[in-house]
Structures are given as C-alpha cells and as structure tokens.
Amino acid sequence: MKIARFHVFAASMTALSVALSVPAYAQQTGSTGASAAAPQTDDFHSSEEIVVTAPYVERLDILSGTSAVSGDLLAEKTRAQLGDILSSLPGVSATSFSPGASRPVLRGYHGNRVAVLTDGIGNIDASNTSADHAVTIDTLTIERIEVLRGPAVLLFGGQAVGGAVNALDKRIPRAVPKEAVHVDALAGYGSAARDWSGGASVDVPVTDRVVVHLDGSYRNSDDLRTGGYILAPSLRAEVLEFAAEETSEGNLDEAAEALELAGQSGRIPNSAVKSWTAAGGIAFIDDGGNMGLSYSIYDTNYGIPARPGTGHAHADGGEEEAPVTIGMRQYRFDVRGEVDLGDGLFEKLRLRAGYANYSHTEFEGDEIGTIFNSKGIEARAEFIQNDRGGWRGASGAQYQSRDLEAIGAEAFVPPNKTKQFGLFTLQEFTAGNLDAEVALRFDTAQLRADILGINRSFNNVSAAFGVGYHIGDLKIGANLSRTGRAPAVEELFSNGPHIATQAFEVGDPLLKSERAWNGELYARYDTADTAFNLTLYSNRFDNFIYEAETGTVEDDLPVFQYFQNDAKVWGVEFQGSQNVARFGDVDLKVDAVADYTRAKISGGAGNVPRIPPLRVLGGVELNGTRLDLRGEVEWSDAQTKTAPFESATDGFTLVNATATWRPFGSDRNVALIASANNIFDVVARRSASFTKDFVPLSGRDFRLSARISF
C-alpha cells in the first residue's frame, strides 16, 4: 500500500515498597538500607534517610523528592530498556517505541528535557536524538536506579526540566568487599516475548585496597505478544476502509494485504531484541580517597515494527518494504576519583569522566540504510563542602563534546559537532525546622554543521530555589526555578527521511533557546505506618520546542517538523501508603499512585504531542521476612487532548500480581520472584509513544526471576 492512497499516522508500583537490600559494600560509608520487614518507600524520606548518590552529595535533602528502585523490585521489573522499568513510578511513563528502545518520560517530558545518566554522567549515546535509539544502559547488572527532581537537577544541566534518571552500577567499585569473592547474579524468563535473560558481576579484592570487577549479561527475546489486535481501533478502521475501496475497484491483491494487516493480532512483527554486554573495572580505595576505571561494551540488535501505510522511494526508484532493524554497539571507558580534603571549607573533590565510541546501523532487510557514528566525552569535577552549622553544598564544572556523523542516502541529519560547558553550584541550608536549597548554573553550547555552513552558539543561565518546613512528621514546601535549554542538533538540522522512525523529519536551524519558569508545591508526610507525598507543578515556557506531524507527505512518509512556541504545562503527582495491620513479622499494607499532566501550546496551536493522561494505581501487599505478596490494579484514562493529526489513545486497566520468596530470610540476598502482569490480557497503549497506534504494550506475561548475592 502506498501512502499516497492510504496515509495513516501514529504519534503519539506504583507506591511500591522498595527493599533497598544493597550489599553492604555497594554504597559508600554512611549509606543506609532497609530490610524487607522495614522497607524504604519510593519518593519518601523515611526514618532511615534516603541516600542520593547521583548528585555526589549524599546527604542533601533534595527537596522535591527522590524515587529509587533496587533489590528485589528492580529484579522483578527488569526489562530490555530503562523506560519500561520505571513506568509505574509516580510521574513516570515511557516512550515505548519498541521493546528494544524505550526512554523514561518524566511529567510528560522526554528527550533532551530528561537527563539519563550512568553513575552521574551522560550515557554518551544517541538515545536522546530520536525515539528509535536504544538507551545504552545494561539493565541486568545495574544495582540501583534513582529518579531526581527539583533544584538538585541543575547539577546535571539546565535542560533537565523534567528531572534526571541515574542508573548506578559497580563497574568502578566503591568499597572493598568483605568476602574473598563477591558475586551478584540475576536471571529471568518472560512468557510474552519468550524473553531469556541473565547477568552477573564478580568483585574480587586483590589487596586490602584494590578491587577488581567483572560483569556481563545476555538477553534474547522473541517478538512481543500483545492481548488483541496490533493496530489501534482508529487505524484499523482506516485500513478496513481502504480494503473496501480496493475491493470495489477490483484491486484484490491490495485489498487482501490490507485485510491481513487489519486482522493482525498476537505477536508484534519485528519486535525481537537480542543484546549482550561485558565490562571490567578496577579501583584503588583508601581512607584518603579512591580512584578507579572501567571499560565496557554494549551490543544490541532489535527490530522496528513497521508503520502501516508508509513506504519511500530509493535512489534506484524502487520502494523498500523490508523490515527495519537496528544493530548498535558502544565501547565505553570510564574514570572516577575522589580525594578527601580535610576539615576546611571543602570535604572532598570528586572527579568523573567518560569516553564512548558509539555506532549503530539502520538496516532495511539486509541492505544498510543509515549508519550513525558518534564519539563523545563527558567530564565533571565537584567540590563537596563540609557541613558548617547546617550549611552544605557542592560546586563544580562539567564538559561535554560529541561528534555525530550519519552516513547513507537517507541520513536525516548532517555531520555535526556539539560542545557544552557548564558551571554550577547547589547549596542547602538547615535552620531548625526550615530547609532551603539554592542552585545556580551557567551553560554555554556550540552546535556546528559544517556541511551546511551553520554554527550556532547559546548561553543560558538557570537558577532554582526551594524551601521546606517541618511540622512534626509533615513537611511542606515549594520550589521555583528558571531554566534554559539550547536546541539539540536534531531539532536544528534534521531534514530528510528517517527509516527507523518511518517519518520525514524536518528541523529549524533558526530555533532559539528554550526557557521556562518552573514551580512546585508539595506536602510530604512520613511515619512508620503512614506516608504520602503530594506535588503540584507548573511550567511556563518561552520558545518551547516540539515535534509534531504536519499532515503532509514527503518521499512517501508523513512529515514531522520541529516548531517553537510558548507553552504551559501543569500537573499533579500523588503517592501514599498505609500499614493496615501486623501479624507477627508480616505487615499488611495498601498503597496508591496517581499522576496527571496537562500541556498546551499557546496561541491556539493546540496540545503538546504525546502527553500521558490521568493514571491511578492501587496495590495491596503482605510483607514478611521470607515471603512478600502483592496485587495491584493500574487504570489509565483515555487521552483525547491530542495535537493536530495525533490520534487519541483508549483507556485501559491492568491487573498484576507478584510473589517474592527469600528462602534464607531477609539477611541473605537470595530471592525467587514470580509475577503475572496484565493478567486479563488487555490491549494497552502508552500515549507518550511515537508508535502507539501499531506497537501496543505486552499482553499477559508470566515472569520468573532469581536474584542471588553472596
């Protein structure tokens, strides 16, 4: 079917109890954990203080709240991509482009407005440049994921208005294991995609100060099975209408093809994923500081489900209909160091740097369509202040450089170079019941496309202020920030067919910096049995940059173009939990999550594309020393507040259940986990997904996982 005759468009738990059963050596001195009997709850400051490792300022309060996933929950939630692991946290969705490519969506923001980090610095990949690009984080060997919001996010850049997601691994060891050999392992199977996965890491102290680390992982999944028709109802109706027209005109072959497409159900064609990783590291750890390095390889191959009704002409005049797949590999070298500076103004100097050589190839069948090559460096240095009568903080500098080259007749972006430099400080003050945070950051960015003769420079100043007040176990507060973000290379320089997104993408080289006023009001209550967190947020943008479908066709592909206009975004997040009863060492608990985001373009231009709708999730848990049981129901409303040419998304309800058995009790890190997700085999689609009309979420999925640490 040619798009000239048939144009279709597609663009768009939980307050889970997180048992932070991280091995004792895994966190730095002063870190805390919680057993299964006294779990640390996501997004709350419990009596055992949350230790935030991402900003390197472990004891800053992070006024806007922090969510963390680790231990048994991370083992149960593990998927091929980071976004699909975090999607049940409050305010978090996922791009869900395909099972092999899914980035986190925070408060409706994705791409460059969300900083996705590996141990505090960027992934140095191309996942932020397009929704079809995988995040190069090995989800089988990470030990903890943190979601950060509020003033502290300015440590990572003024562009991260949505927040930051930081994945922590142990590739550069942080402490000396107590054991002669320490092993962590995770293995699992999921029925919906016949997904086999396994990963393991080994830490060996070769001396009392030197630790060697090795890890590796492997995942092999088939095409994902969904609960019903693959095409969304509106798209399926268009295909059936097209089939009827072709039949009436006597084009029986095309009619049969359309009917076959409309009737597709079960497994999503070309959605399989295969990946492997390998890494090694070494660290010197001493009372006066530490220094370490690591080298890693990330390799993945995954399919791109086809957008119905699209096709595009090649140089030879033919039309390619072969399946599109992506083969990706990244080689990465990392360094981390820390020096204790004594009792003066500064307690520590922390250094972090990474270099990555990244490449991915977009195949059309066996034919190479486009090759993306990227080499990048990111480095940061931070001075951590000693606590001086309730005043503490961190200040530093950050540098990023990336050369990106797209090779091929269908390269939609020209070769380009990006350099960014930032200076920042984050200060926290405590006086009695009052907490305050102040953050300031200056960023300069230079983006060049020499083949076009374009060289753009941007300077942005971002600032944030937060205040919180304790009234017994209740804390109320507010955050206010002014942020600035330079346009990204794809927003400026795109102009051509992109076979993986199956769209013709058009940028605007005249885009200005995007700036926003951001405000939050929050209330947080936390006791041994009751906890809740309510946050209201609002963002007002000047020169908001967004990509939307135009309704036109170029090269037999729908045109998606970057625009710039003022915008307003507001929303609410709620998370609460209550211990209802206690039976010996077993706690009965109920919990709930709710979130909603509303985003509009000013001047009557409509809604911001691909925004998550209202979502409510409720769960019941039994938590014991050896056994945890959980059942939950997640309801997502229909999304009808869509952008022009964007299809609406139907609402859905998912029912899930999980059982976690620790045969040796909570003192031994051995857990066997069985879960049933989407028990009633519901067809569900994420409105934040670029491919929502033809890539639904998983159908009924039974999963078995085993996590071992010794």
pLDDT at 411: 85
What is the rounded CA–CA span in Å between residue 79 and residue 86? 10
pLDDT at 317: 39
- Judged against a pLDDT cut of 90, whether residue 226 lies above it is answered with yes
- Judged against a pLDDT cut of 90, whether residue 704 lies above it is answered with yes
What is the rounded CA–CA span in Å between residue 438 and residue 465? 5
- Judged against a pLDDT cut of 80, whether residue 35 lies above it is answered with no
Residue 200 near residue 214 (C-beta atoms within 8 A): no
The DSSP secondary structure of 475-542, one letter per residue, reads EEEEEEEEEEEPPPHHHHH-EEEETTTTEEEE--TTPPPEEEEEEEEEEEEE-SSEEEEEEEEEEEEE
Instruction: Please state the φ and ψ torsions of residue 244, each to the nearest 5 degrees.
Output: -65, -40
- pLDDT per residue over 549-570, tens digit each? 999 999 889 999 999 999 999 9
The DSSP secondary structure of 78-123, one letter per residue, reads --SSHHHHHTTSTTEEE--SBTTB--EEETTB-GGGEEEEETTEE-
Angle between the 252-262 and 233-248 helix axes, to the nearest 10 degrees? 160
309 pLDDT tier (thresholds 50, 70, 90): confident
Where do we find the tokens 């900083």? 115
What is the distance, to the nearest Å, from the Cα of residue 647 to the centroid of all Cα atoms in its chain?
Answer: 24
Average pLDDT over residues 475-500: 93
pLDDT at 311: 56
- Judged against a pLDDT cut of 70, whether residue 48 lies above it is answered with no
pLDDT at 542: 96
- pLDDT per residue over 243-278, tens digit each? 999 999 999 999 999 999 999 999 999 999 999 999
pLDDT at 68: 80
pLDDT at 131: 87
- Judged against a pLDDT cut of 80, whether residue 9 lies above it is answered with no
- Taking the CB of residue 588, how many other CB atoms lie within 10 A of it? 15
What is the rounded CA–CA span in Å between residue 426 and residue 467? 13
Query: What is the four-CA torsion angle of 609, 612, 613, 617, rounded to 10 degrees?
Result: 180
What is the rounded CA–CA span in Å between residue 8 and residue 231? 11
Q: Which residues touch 190 (CB under 8 Å, ≥6 apart)?
A: 221, 701, 702, 703
pLDDT at 665: 79
pLDDT at 321: 64
Residue 639 near residue 611 (C-beta atoms within 8 A): yes
Please measure the distance between the N-terminal and C-terminal CA atoms of the chain and give it in whole angstroms: 57
17-230+268-709, CATH topology level: Maltoporin; Chain A (2.40.170)
Distances (CA, A) of 17 to 297, 630, 684, 703: 33, 10, 25, 19
Average pLDDT over residues 303-323: 64
- pLDDT per residue over 637-666, tens digit each? 999 999 999 999 999 999 999 999 999 876
Q: Sort strands 557-583 and 503-506 into parallel, antiparallel or unpaired.
A: parallel
pLDDT at 49: 38
Using alpha carbons only, give the angle 353, 354, 360 rounded to the nearest 5 degrees: 160
Q: Which long-range contacts (CB under 8 A, 24 or more apart) does 4-8 make?
A: 4/553, 4/556, 5/242, 6/238, 6/239, 6/242, 6/258, 6/309, 7/309, 7/553, 7/558, 8/235, 8/238, 8/239, 8/307, 8/308, 8/309, 8/693
Q: 482 - beta bridge partners?
A: 463, 517
pLDDT at 24: 31
- Judged against a pLDDT cut of 90, whether residue 50 lies above it is answered with no
pLDDT at 26: 31
42 pLDDT tier (thresholds 50, 70, 90): very low
Q: What is the pTM of this model?
A: 0.88
148 pLDDT tier (thresholds 50, 70, 90): confident
Residue 322 near residue 365 (C-beta atoms within 8 A): yes
Show the tokens assigned to 622: 């039994």
71 pLDDT tier (thresholds 50, 70, 90): confident
Show the tokens assigned to 284: 């010197």
Average pLDDT over residues 685-692: 95
What is the rounded CA–CA span in Å between residue 696 and residue 225? 9
Which stretch of DSSP H or E encloses residue 198?
strand 195-205
Within 249-331, residue ranges assigned H as helices are 252-262
- pLDDT per residue over 453-486, tens digit each? 999 999 999 999 999 999 999 999 999 999 999 9
Give the type of residue at 646. E
- pLDDT per residue over 417-437, tens digit each? 999 999 999 999 999 999 999
Where do we find the tokens 């030197």? 210
The total number of residues shown for the chain amounts to 710
**Better-scored residue on pLDDT, 198 or 143:** 198
- Judged against a pLDDT cut of 70, whether residue 215 lies above it is answered with yes
Average pLDDT value for the chain: 87
pLDDT at 25: 30
Question: What DSSP state is assigned to residue 313?
Answer: B
Strand ranges (E), 408-453 = 416-431, 434-449
7 pLDDT tier (thresholds 50, 70, 90): very low
What is the rounded CA–CA span in Å between residue 271 and residue 291? 41
- pLDDT per residue over 117-136, tens digit each? 999 899 998 888 888 999 99
**Closest by Cα among 551, 699, 644, 556 to 223:** 699
- pLDDT per residue over 346-398, tens digit each? 999 999 999 999 999 999 888 888 899 999 999 999 999 998 888 999 999 99
17 pLDDT tier (thresholds 50, 70, 90): very low
47 pLDDT tier (thresholds 50, 70, 90): very low
Say which range, 204-218, 299-313, 492-506, has the weakest mean pLDDT. 299-313
- Judged against a pLDDT cut of 80, whether residue 236 lies above it is answered with yes
Average pLDDT over residues 279-288: 95
- Judged against a pLDDT cut of 80, whether residue 33 lies above it is answered with no
Distances (CA, A) of 41 to 67, 76, 150, 507: 8, 16, 19, 42
The DSSP secondary structure of 657-678, one letter per residue, reads EEEEE-TT-TTSEEEEEEEEES
Average pLDDT over residues 285-311: 91
- pLDDT per residue over 77-111, tens digit each? 888 888 888 888 999 999 999 999 999 999 999 88
The domain spans of the chain are: 17-230+268-709
Instruction: Please state the φ and ψ torsions of residue 136, each to the nearest 5 degrees.
Output: -85, 60
- Judged against a pLDDT cut of 80, whether residue 288 lies above it is answered with yes
